[in-house]
Structures are given as structure tokens and as C-alpha cells.
């Protein structure tokens, strides 16, 4: 069975990612019918943890995964690493003696248990709730008053409260005030635009460098001058070119030589990547990681949708898709200062076309919106089987880039 796996971040109160919930679908993305829940969960366990490797969930973070009743009572979950796995008990599982006994065994084995989709109508003292370490509350299924009442009902207990499907900064702030401990949703991907709010100097400087990097008439000496304006860019470029990946015989100590060895297009891409990473210092790291995943996934799929010659453009399209979040300004305003291709700008601003279809496909896949992803694949004549491997390769690459970037910033 084919498995399509995306991952949704779980944040703490400081907007730090503490783990990911795996969103999955088994079978072809052309199909609108979901497979049996037990078989789908088994496919996730088999393919994600045993075949794809633990990097997909970015250890040492937690991995949240939903289990059906059959998987709970058959102890299938015990093949998963207990230190890093959160097992979600679905809301429709009855607290039968066999189920409660299985959950007690998992707790004793060191697993973290989460009770899914708690509402005010849920039984306050169900044995499964008493065993849960985390209680998830869907903010789209509860009003603010109901979400607050749930927090008050479960306050002062041993459990952490997780606010699920938090889509705006205002909802995140409200959930914080209610006492929720953990958060899921795409609130982190929405820009906080404050009228009269000055852009920090370092971000203005990085934006200026980005603008110069993307000038069409740029040559090697002028590109060298742009990079030399920032010590972190110089440091990371030399570290990059002297890494084992390039197998250079003599250490490269000249910025100009490093540029010549890489080539103009590759340097533009690399420098844009570094600058976006640096601009994300005051945002949740997931914003940068998500931008990197989008960039790499767009690039990897370019050849499959007849746009192989525009792969560099598509990389920048994905990379710059969250500049409004990183900078705190409307995306249209930011793009005016960048000499990107007309197609990239139009796609990022929502204009229909192959670039936008690819962008929407990538975003819908990362969010586990399988049917929407399938529609865009059809418009691009893209074989859906190409998408999961591109996503997983992009995740691996993005996590590695983010890790190297963190190390470089610490040492620079």
C-alpha cells in the first residue's frame, strides 16, 4: 500500500516546535475514499518509522500518531520508540476493559497518551481521560467560551491541554490566556502586520541584499561585493564551499573564487536561502523549515510538470512564499523590491497558472489536504505517486539545512 505522509507541527507556549503529528492517507491521491483506519495507521507505522527512517519526524521531537481500537488492544504501538511517540486515543473509542487495560500497559511501557477531540459533552471522568497525558481540543468545533470552559474543567490536573486547529494569531493568544500548553494549526504561517511598525535594521539590510542578489545584470565581481556586505554570508559561503560535499583540494579563502566554483545561479539560490534563514531569527523555526521544504519540493517536482528549465525560479517561489511572515509586511509590498520573474511574482500573489498550481499543490500536500492536492496534480498532468517521495526528500534536506544554519550562526 502506498502511503502519503505530511507532518503538522506541535508548538509549546513559546512557539517552539516540540514534535509533529503525522497526517496520512493510504492509497492513491486520485481516490477520494479513505482506506480502513487500522490499515492506514499500520501503513504509517510500517512506512514512516520502519522504512523511511526517523529523520522524517525530526528527532529528538515527539511524534504524534492516531491509533484505532484494534491497534491499541493488539499492542502494535509497542514497535514504536516509547521515548518519542505520543499515541492519540480517538474520541470514538469506548473505554472498554480491554482498551483501558491496553492503555495502562502502554503507559507503564513509557508511552505518552493523548485523548483526541475532547468536548464539554465528553465524560469528565472516563478512564481513558484519566490515563491521558495530553488532552486535545479542536478550536473549530468549540466556541471560545466552550474552549475556556474545558480549560477550567481540566485545570490543575496532570495533563497538558493542546489547542488544535488554531489558525490565527488572535486564536493563539486567546488559547494562551485560557491556559493551553500546546498548539497545532497554521497560526504561525500568518504574518503579523502592524501599522507604523518599523522593520528591524538587520531585516532591512537583508532585504536590500536580496534585492541586489536578484538583479538580472549581476556579475561575479558585483555579486562578491554584495556578499561581502554581511559577515555571516561570507562565513557560511566559505564553510559551505570547503565542506566535504565539494571535495576541493586546496582550502578556498576567497569569496570571488567560491562564487566562480559554485556558479552564479547556485550562489543566488544559496545566498537567498541563508538570508531567509537569518531573517527568521525572531519567528518560530518552523517558518523557515516550512519555506525550505516548499522551495526544495517545488524544485524537485519541476521536471515532472514540464518546468525543469525553470527549477531555480520555482525554488525561489517556494523559498519566498513566507517572506511576509518573516518580515511583517504584505507580500505584494515585499515583492516590489525583488527582481524575480514575472511568473514567480504572479504565482505568489495568487494568479492562476502552472506556477501557482504547483505552489498550491505543495502547500496542500504539506497540510494533508489530499483531495485539493490531487486536483492540482490533475491540472499539471502530474503523476501523484511522484509527490510523496519529493516531500520526504524535501523534509530531509530542509531539516539538514536548518541544522547546519543553526550551527553556523552559533559559530559565526
- Give the mean pLDDT of 333-352: 91
Range(s) within the chain of domains with CATH label 3.20.20.450: 3-189
Predicted model pTM: 0.84
If one counts every other C-beta atom within 10 angstroms of the C-beta of residue 66, the result is 20
How confident is the model over 88-124, as pLDDT tens digits? 998 888 889 999 999 999 999 999 999 999 988 877 6
pLDDT band, very low/low/confident/very high, at 40 (cuts 50, 70, 90): low
pLDDT at 175 (0 to 100):
97
Closest CA to 30 of 397, 380, 375: 375
pLDDT at 298 (0 to 100):
97
State yes or no: pLDDT of 1 exceeds 60: no
Range(s) within the chain of domains with CATH label 1.10.3210.10: 201-411
Partnered with residue 162 across adjacent β-strands are 136, 182
pLDDT at 187 (0 to 100):
92
pLDDT at 290 (0 to 100):
93
Question: Which CATH class for the 201-411 domain?
Answer: mainly alpha
pLDDT band, very low/low/confident/very high, at 57 (cuts 50, 70, 90): very low
- End-to-end distance of the chain based on CA atoms, in angstroms? 46
Q: 3-state SS string over the chain?
A: CCEEEEEEEEECCCCCEEEEEEEEEECCCCCCCCCCHHHHHHHHHHHHHHHCCHHHHCCCCEEEEEECHHHHHCCHHHHCCCCCEEEEECCCCCCCHHHHHHHHHHHHCCCEEEECCCCCCCCCCCHHHHHCCEEEEECCCCCHHHHHHHHHHCCCCCCEEEEECCCCHHHHHHHHHHCCCEECCCHHHCCCCCCCCCCCHHHHHHHHHHHHHCCCCCCHHHHHHHHCCCHHHHHHHHHHHCCCCCCCCCCCCCHHHHHHHHCHHHHHHHHHHHHHHHHCCCCCHHHHHHHHHHHHHHHHHHHHHCCHHHHHHHHHHHHHHHHHHHHCCCHHHHHCCCCCCHHHHHHHCCCCCHHHHHHHHHHHHHCCCHHHHHHHHHHCCCCCCHHHHHHHHHHHHHHHHHHHHHHHHHHC
Peptide bond into 60 cis (omega under 30): yes
Weakest-pLDDT range from 102-111, 127-136, 200-209, 351-360: 200-209
Angle separating helix axes 285-301 and 264-279, nearest 10 degrees = 150
Weakest-pLDDT range from 200-209, 220-229, 322-331: 200-209
Partnered with residue 9 across adjacent β-strands are 20
d(CA 65, CA 352): 35
Share of the chain above pLDDT 70, in %: 85
pLDDT band, very low/low/confident/very high, at 193 (cuts 50, 70, 90): low
Which residues have C-beta within 8 Å of that of residue 96, sequence separation ≥ 6? none
State yes or no: pLDDT of 283 exceeds 70: yes
Residue 285 and residue 17 in contact, taking contact as beta carbons nearer than 8 Å? yes
State yes or no: pLDDT of 51 exceeds 50: no
d(CA 312, CA 319): 11
User: CATH number of the domain at 3-189, please?
Assistant: 3.20.20.450
Four-residue CA torsion sign, 107, 109, 110, 113: negative
**Average pLDDT, whole number, for the chain?**
84
Amino acid at each position: 500500500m502506498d502511503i502519503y505522509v505530511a507532518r503538522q507541527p506541535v508548538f509549546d507556549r513559546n512557539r517552539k516546535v516540540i514534535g509533529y503529528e503525522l497526517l496520512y492517507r493510504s492509497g492513491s491521491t486520485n481516490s477520494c475514499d479513505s482506506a480502513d483506519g487500522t490499515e492506514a495507521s499500520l501503513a504509517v507505522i510500517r512506512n514512516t518509522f520502519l522504512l523511511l527512517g526517523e529523520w522524517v519526524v525530526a528527532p529528538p521531537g515527539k511524534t504524534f500518531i492516531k491509533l484505532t481500537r484494534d491497534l491499541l488492544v493488539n499492542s502494535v504501538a509497542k514497535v514504536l520508540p516509547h521515548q518519542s511517540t505520543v499515541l492519540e486515543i480517538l474520541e470514538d473509542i469506548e473505554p472498554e476493559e480491554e482498551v483501558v487495560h491496553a492503555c495502562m500497559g502502554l503507559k507503564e511501557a513509557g508511552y505518552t497518551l493523548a485523548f483526541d477531540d475532547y468536548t464539554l459533552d465528553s465524560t469528565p471522568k472516563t478512564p481513558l481521560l484519566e490515563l491521558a497525558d495530553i488532552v486535545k481540543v479542536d478550536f473549530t468545533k468549540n466556541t471560545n467560551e466552550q474552549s475556556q470552559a474545558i480549560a477550567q474543567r481540566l485545570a490543575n490536573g496532570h495533563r497538558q491541554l493542546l489547542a488544535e486547529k488554531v489558525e490565527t494569531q488572535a486564536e493563539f493568544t486567546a488559547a494562551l490566556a485560557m491556559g493551553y500548553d500546546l498548539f497545532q494549526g497554521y497560526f504561525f504561517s500568518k504574518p503579523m502586520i502592524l501599522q507604523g511598525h518599523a522593520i528591524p535594521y538587520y531585516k532591512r539590510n537583508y532585504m536590500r541584499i536580496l534585492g541586489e542578489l536578484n538583479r538580472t545584470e549581476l556579475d561575479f565581481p558585483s555579486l562578491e561585493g554584495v556578499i561581502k556586505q554581511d559577515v555571516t554570508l561570507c562565513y557560511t559561503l566559505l564553510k559551505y564551499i570547503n565542506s566535504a560535499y565539494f571535495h576541493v583540494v586546496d582550502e578556498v579563502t576567497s569569496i570571488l573564487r567560491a562564487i566562480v566554483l559554485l556558479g552564479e545561479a547556485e550562489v543566488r539560490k544559496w545566498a537567498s536561502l541563508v538570508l531567509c534563514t537569518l531573517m527568521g531569527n525572531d519567528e518560530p523555526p518552523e517558518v523557515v523549515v516550512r519555506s525550505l521544504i516548499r522551495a526544495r519540493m517545488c524544485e524537485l517536482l519541476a521536471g515532472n510538470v514540464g518546468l525543469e528549465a525553470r527549477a531555480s525560479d520555482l525554488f525561489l517561489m517556494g523559498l519566498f512564499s513566507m517572506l511576509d511572515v518573516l518580515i511583517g509586511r504584505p507580500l505584494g509590498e515585499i515583492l516590489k523590491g525583488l527582481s524575480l520573474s514575472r511568473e514567480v511574482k504572479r504565482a505568489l500573489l495568487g494568479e492562476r497558472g502552472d506556477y501557482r498550481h504547483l505552489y498550491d499543490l505543495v502547500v496542500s500536500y504539506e497540510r494533508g489536504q489530499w483531495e485539493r492536492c490531487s486536483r492540482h496534480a490533475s491540472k499539471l498532468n502530474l503523476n501523484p505517486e511522484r509527490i510523496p517521495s519529493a516531500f520526504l526528500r524535501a523534509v530531509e534536506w530542509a531539516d539538514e539545512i536548518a541544522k547546519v544554519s543553526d550551527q553556523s550562526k552559533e559559530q559565526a
